[in-house]
Amino acid sequence: MLIAHSLPVELSIAKKAGARIVPMAALRLLSALCYGIVLNLICRLTGLWQEPVQMFFSGSPGEQELIANGQSLKFSTLALYFLLFSVY
């Protein structure tokens, strides 16, 4: 997430600086994918972060609606990023 979290903003700045967007976006996305694969292999081979999760918060039925609203907000934000990225 930290590798590609500001990708739309950085690509629009790079475009204004004269860089080609498609190769830069491909490079950033492929490097993020490779980083994720390497991190996954390291965690599996060393046993790091492999224990079962402990849930400290379990929402009540009324709070489940808030979680669903948060999920729809996440998808709306993602759609907005794609819209802004296609404009620039």
Query: What confidence tens digit (pLDDT) does each residue in 26-83 have?
Result: 988 898 899 999 999 999 999 998 888 887 766 666 666 767 777 777 777 887 777 7
Query: How far separated are the first and last CA of the chain, in Å rounded?
Result: 22
| 8 A C-beta contact, residue 44 and residue 50 | yes
Per-residue tokens: 51: 């224990």
- More confident: 86 or 5: 86
HSE-CB of 41 using CA atoms within 13 angstroms: 6
| Separation CA 68–CA 81 (nearest Å) | 20
Please report the pLDDT score of residue 60 as a whole number.
64
Identify the DSSP state of 20: -
